[in-house]
Structure 1
């Protein structure tokens, strides 16, 4: 199942810099592993915001929830999820 996911990051301004750096490094490693595994095929920064649009490809809602809640930044994220379905006018079946 494909999901369009918007993630907005809201780190506390008084967060210890070492803690912030650790969170961001762990987030990068976790998200890159999901990309390598094919679970996170698209990741786009939203220009001018600390936010992204992503496409995640999971077996079901439960897997999506598990992957998102495993994000090290999860406590600091506002997440909006939209399930996707193939559009009948789409030309390529494998995109």
Structure 2
């Protein structure tokens, strides 16, 4: 019953800490700075690995939680009701 809330918390933590996907921007700054080259207010810049360790989950689990948010609402409801396992199946 908490899977989607937990996934939303992960996404919000990444937003707060300034974690983003991709390469450095044109000014040469990395994921720890916003688009205009200003760094965020944290002295130790967080990564997805850091966030996963703080939440006592693996980085792969962190990614899997975030994938739940990409499901259509009907499937999210099924996962929340635990009628469907919340894990990816490789084809």
TM-score for both structures, normalised by structure 2: 0.28
Report the structure, 1 or 2, having the larger strand content: 1
Which protein, 1 or 2, shows the higher relative CO under an 8 Å CA cutoff with sep ≥ 6?
Answer: 1
TM-score for both structures, normalised by structure 1: 0.27
Report the structure, 1 or 2, having the larger helix content: 2
Larger radius of gyration: 2
